[in-house]
Structure 1
Amino acid sequence: MRSVCMPNTLAAKDLARFDTIVSATRVVMRGEALYRSSDEFQSVYAVRSGSFKTVVMHRDGREQVTGFHLAGEVLGLDAVCAERHSSDAIAIEDSSVCIIPYALLEALCAESKSLQHQVLRTMSGEIVRESSLMMLLGTMSAEQRVATFLLNLSTRMQARGYSAAEFNLRMTREEMGNYLGMKLETVSRMFSKFQRDGLLETHGKQIRIVDLEALARV
């Protein structure tokens, strides 16, 4: 279990200790919630398989996608401060998670500097991701937003040992547009443009980035 619940940059003894606090695994079917906004914070979750979107609901009932979380990434750290979750985490495909009780993780971090460092790095990554969203929405053109989104996915896939150039888009284009602050039609138009320009190829949800460097220059 440890290989999918925690990066193996930890020493073997820390991995073994971490393995003892993973209380269970949970399967979350597509469309189901792992947790809801305002739920009491008890655990963080490492995505074993599948993927999730985090969303907040506007007062008028509209959904705002705030992030996508892939296998090997962590969910739930948004609740550390307020001790309640600030968003809903919804599976966008059949998924499974490792449940890590936060009280046990906190105690273990107090004993292990390397694990503490890993947790802080993960939290820092979440902060960077949120600030990147603000930049996407505030300063980039539609073309740049979609290109940056695809490059971000490429980097995250590569970090987990998968191809940086060829992968499946687990989210719908509508969900992608919601996250990027764009209409579905605009997202589709950008994909068509990138294909015409020879930057990528698409087959359903399968994406192949033909020219990573050119996509980065958009």
Structure 2
Amino acid sequence: MTKHQFSNKNKATELDQAFKQLAAYLNIPVGVIQSYKEECLLRHYNKGQVLYYSSDQPTHVYLLLEGNVLRETFNAEGDVVRALYKEEVLLPLTQLFRKEMSSEMCTALTECDVIGIPKDLLEYLCKTHEDIFITLFEKLNAELRLQMEYTMALTTKLARERVEKVLYYLCHSVGYDNEEFYEIKQVMTIQLLSDLSGISRETTGHIISELKEEKMLLKNGKDWLVRK
């Protein structure tokens, strides 16, 4: 982890801009939280760096301003559930109002910029500002709906159907809607899709080749275009 890699000269301006993004995410006027700006922090993460570990006592939650991250949640048996996120998501949202953090790790898949807000402060704001609580409750519900879509995709027995459903889950979670197709930028690889689908890399590769031949999927450099 490094300090946000911006020039010191512009640091105040960039914090102001990031703070406005935080207020917009919370769906409130920036003035409601203006007095707490100095308690927030900016961070920059390079690809492969870890935003937080499960063993850390959660002191902050982070609004992803730019980039993509992989969140992995573990149980006592070592099983793992993975989820991908793009900008404008608060992590770990599910840990608000919990004293102990679940076993999880969040890793940058690309260059990432985040603004951190103290967890205790955000919990206080939820209790004192109904609009903030309602906004975060709605965002949590949206996150849970996406997680349900992913869970249901994993119950599919046929390999091709499972890969297709996981791919469309990714379109909905980290893709960009471009009318006739979704665009997944920079982050997707056959290995990652294999890991997310629970299908071998070889089989996943064959399925992706079939989808490309059928014009359902196009790779444009590191970007994937998926037809609706």
Matched, 1:145 2:162: yes
Instruction: State the match for 1:39 in structure 2.
Output: 56
Superposed displacement of residue 110, structure 1: 1.9
Distance 1:142 1:51 in 2: 26
Q: 2:149 aligns with which of 132, 141, 158?
A: 132
Contact in 2 for aligned 1:54/1:87 (Cα 8 Å)? yes
Matched, 1:120 2:132: no
Number of corresponding residues: 207
Question: Aligned to 1:93, what secondary structure does the other structure show?
Answer: coil
Q: 2:86 aligns with which of 59, 70, 76?
A: 70
CA 1:113/1:127 → structure 2, altered by over 3 Å: closer, same or farther? same
Question: Could you tell which deviates more after superposition, 130-139 or 44-53?
Answer: 130-139
Structural mapping, 1:179-190, within 5 Å: 179-190=196-207
Q: Structure 1: where are the runs of 5+ without partners? A: 213-218
Instruction: State the match for 2:108 in structure 1.
Output: 91
Question: Could you tell which deviates more after superposition, 45-54 or 64-73?
Answer: 64-73
Superposed displacement of residue 124, structure 1: 1.9
CA 1:5/1:172 → structure 2, altered by over 3 Å: closer, same or farther? farther
CA 1:64/1:205 → structure 2, altered by over 3 Å: closer, same or farther? farther
CA 1:162/1:198 → structure 2, altered by over 3 Å: closer, same or farther? closer
Distance 2:67 2:85 in 1: 9
Q: Which amino acid aligns with 2:57?
A: E
Q: 2:219 aligns with which of 167, 190, 202?
A: 202
Q: Which amino acid aligns with 2:82?
A: T
Question: Aligned to 1:68, what secondary structure does the other structure show?
Answer: strand
Identity of aligned residues (%): 21
Question: Aligned to 1:139, what secondary structure does the other structure show?
Answer: coil
CA 1:39/1:170 → structure 2, altered by over 3 Å: closer, same or farther? same
Contact in 2 for aligned 1:78/1:86 (Cα 8 Å)? no
Contact in 2 for aligned 1:200/1:207 (Cα 8 Å)? yes
Q: Which amino acid aligns with 1:145?
A: R
Superposed displacement of residue 3, structure 1: 4.8
Contact in 2 for aligned 1:48/1:72 (Cα 8 Å)? yes
Matched, 1:16 2:25: no
TM-score, structure 1 as length reference: 0.79
CA 1:85/1:42 → structure 2, altered by over 3 Å: closer, same or farther? farther
Distance 1:84 1:8 in 2: 23
